[in-house]
Amino acid sequence: MAIERSGIVPALLALAACHAAPAAKPLTEAQSAARQPADPHLAALYDGSCRACHTNRDSGAPLSGDHTQWDARWAKGAPVLLQNAVAGYNRMPAGGQCATCTAADYNALIRFMADQPQDQK
Amino acid sequence: MGTTRRALLIGGGVVAAGAAGLAGRRIWLDRDPAALPAVDGSGHLLWQNWSATEHAYPAARLAPASADEAAHLLRTASGPVRTVGAGHSFTGLVPTDATLVSLDRMTGVLGHDAATSQASVAAGTRLYDLGPALAAIGQDMPNLPDINKQSLAGGTQTGTHGTGRAFKAVHGGIVEFDLATTRGEVLTCNATRNPDVFNAARVGLGAFGIMTRFTMQNHALARVKKVTSLRHRDDLMDGWDDLVRNHRNVEFYVIPFSHWGQLITHDETDEPVRPRGPDTDTDGQMKLKSARDLLEFATPLRFWTLDHMIADIPRQVAIDQGWKLLSNERSVRNREIEYHLPRENQIAALREVVAVIERHRSDVFIPVEVRAIAADDAWLSPFYGRDSGSIAVHTYYKDDYRFFFTLIEPILRRHGGRPHWGKLNSLKYDDFAALYPRWKDALAVRDGLDPEGKLLNPYLHGVLRRG
C-alpha cells in the first residue's frame, strides 16, 4: 500500500498545520511603506537608501516587511544576505545605494526589512 | 538504413547539437559576474557603483550634516576626497581609497518662494523625494531624468538631464548654490556673486568642492498626460523634429532588430487623473532578451519575430503630476554610453549607430534612447551653447560593453558629440579641451579652489590634468 494512500501523511500534515504559525500574507505597497525603523539612525539610512526600492513592487525588490518575500531569503543566513547587500546580487545594486552604511547597519537594515528581531546590543 | 534516412538523422543530430551548443553558450554567458569581497584585507567595506563598472574600498566614509561640517571635512580629511550620491554614474568619478563623502544627512526642502516658484533644497536630496516635497509647496521640476534615484548634487554635477525642446538639464534650473571648499570655507554662488565659480562648478564632477545647497527655479505644479505608443522607427526618425516641436517632453527608443520604436510624450492637460499602471518596461526588456537569447544568430527571424511581437502592444496613457510620470523604474542593471550631439546631427548619427549594432552586435537587445535637451551656459555642461540631441546605447550588465569604444563612440564623436559625464566614454583631457570652449577657464577656477588636487582621484587626474 502506498504510504500516501494510507492516510498517515495527510493526518500528519493536518496536525502540523494546527501547530504552525498562520500563513504569511503579502503586504501592499502602502503597508510596506508605512513601516519605519524605530532607531533614528537606522531610520535615516533606510529613508535615504532602502525605502525607494523596497517599498515599490515595480523595482523587483522584496517589499519591506513582507514575509512571503523575505522568509526564503532570510533562510540563507545573515552572512549571505550581508554579502549580497554589499556586493550586489541580481537586481540589487551593490551597497543598496547607502554610501555610509557599516556592516552592522546593513545587518540591522536587513533584519528590519525581513521583519526579524534586531540583535541585542 | 536508406541514404535519405541516414542523412536526415545526421542532419537532425547536427541541428540538435548546434542548438544544445548555443543554449550552453548562452547559459555560460548569462552567469552572474563573480562578486567582489564585501570587505578588503584592511577591513574596509566595498563601495561599488550601480552598474558594477567601478569599485573601491574607502578607508573613511563621512556624512556631514551641514555646510560647515562639509567645509571642515574638506580641510582635514585625507585625499582623494570624493563625494557620492546614489552611485549611478558609470564612469570613475567616485572611487577613492581614502575618503568617501555622502550627502545623505543633508536632505529636504529648506525654504521656498511661492511668487517666483523657487525652492532652496539641501544637496543630498534624492530626486524621488524631491518630487513629492516640491508638490507639497505647489512646485515641480518640469524635467526629470529617466531614473530618479540620483541625489540632486550627483545629478547636477554630472549634467544629468531629461528631455524636451524647451527644457535644460537638471543643472539648468539651478540659480544659486553653496559650495564647501578645501580651504574650509562655504561660498554662495550665483550669476552675480562668485559668478565664475557659479559658471564653472554648476556641472563640476565633484571636483570643485562639496555642493551643500541649491536654489532651484521650478515651475508651478502641473498635470501632464503621458502617452506611450509603438511606431515604425523610420517614422520616428523622419518625424523627430516635428515631435520635438509639438510636445512638451518627448523621447523615443529604437528597438534593435525590429522595425519598431517606442515613442513617449508628456504634455500638460486638464483631463482627470489616470494613474500610471504597474511597470511593464522591465518585463518588455526581458522579452527582448529572450528573443536575443533564442535568435541571436538568426537576424532575419529575430526581425520577423519581434515585428510580430511588438505590433500588438497597445498604447498606454497615464495622467498625473509630472514627477509621478517622467521617471521610471529601471531595475534591469545595464551599462551605458551616451553622447549629446548638435541637434542637426542627431538623426544621421542615430541611423549609423543602429546600422552598426544590427550589423556587428547581435548581443544588444536594450532599446537605443533618443532625447532632446535645451542649451545652457554652465561651462562644463555637455549642452553648453547648443541645443542638443542625445543618443544612448545600453548593454545588459552581464554582457560585454567594450564595443562602445570601438564601434559606437567613433560615430558619436564624428558627429560632434560630447559625452555625458556620468556615462561610459574613453575621453581624456585633450579631447575635452577641444570640445568645451571654456575648458581652461573652468579648470583655472577649479585649481584655485583645490590647488593641491585633494578632490582628484585617478580618473579625474586623466580628465582634468593634461597627461
The one-character DSSP state at B153 is: H
Q: What is the pLDDT of residue B145?
A: 80
Helix (H, G, I), strand (E, B) or coil at B235: helix
Place of cell 562644463: B380
As to burial, measured by CB atoms within 10 angstroms (0-12 exposed, 13-18 middle, 19+ buried), residue B4 is: exposed
Rounded to the nearest angstrom, the minimum Cα separation between A93 and chain B is 5
For residue B86, list chain A residues with Cβ-Cβ distance below 8 A. Answer: 97
Mean pLDDT across chain B: 94
Position B148 scores a pLDDT of 83
What average pLDDT does range A20-42 have in this prediction? 88
What confidence tier does B369 reach under pLDDT thresholds 50, 70, 90? very high
* A97's grid cell: 545605494
**pLDDT value of position A18:** 46
Predicted confidence (pLDDT) at residue A21 exceeds the cutoff of 70: no
Residue B98 C-alpha, separation from nearest chain A C-alpha, in angstroms: 14
pTM of the predicted protein model? 0.89
Residue A20: pLDDT band by 50, 70, 90 thresholds?
low
Q: Check B331 against A59: CB less than 8 A apart.
A: yes
- pLDDT digits over B143-197, tens only? 888 778 889 999 999 999 999 988 999 999 999 999 999 999 999 999 999 999 9
Q: Please provide the DSSP assignment of B12-80 as one string.
A: HHHHHHHHHHHHHHHHHHTSPPPPPPSB-TTSPBPEE-TTSS-EE--SEEE--SSHHHHHHHHHHSPSP
Region B388-398: mean pLDDT is: 96
Across the interface, whether the CB atoms of B50 and A99 are under 8 A apart is answered no
Q: What confidence score (pLDDT) does residue A23 get? A: 81
Tell whether the model's pLDDT for residue B282 goes beyond 70: yes
> What ipTM does the predicted assembly reach?
0.74
Chain B residues near residue A44 by CB distance under 8 angstroms? 104-105
Please report, rounded to a whole number, the percentage of residues in chain B having pLDDT higher than 70.
Answer: 97
Query: What distance in Å separates residue A12's CA from the closest CA in chain B?
Result: 41
**What's the Cα-to-Cα distance from B197 to each of A27, B74, B377, B446, rounded to whole Å?**
49, 17, 13, 8
Residue range B297-314: average pLDDT? 94
Preceding peptide of B367 cis, ω within 30°: no
Instruction: Please give the pLDDT value at position A9.
Output: 45
Q: How far apart are CA B339 and CA B369, in angstroms?
A: 11
Nearest chain B residue to A90 by CA distance is: B32
Laid out side by side, the sheet with B118-122 consists of: B109-113, B118-122, B210-217, B174-180, B186-190
Could you tell me how many CB contacts below 8 A there are between chain A and chain B?
A: 90
Q: Which of B22-26, B131-135, B236-240 has the lowest mean pLDDT?
A: B22-26
User: CA dist B174 to A1, B97, B120, B218, Å?
Assistant: 79, 31, 10, 9
What three-state secondary structure class fits B446? helix
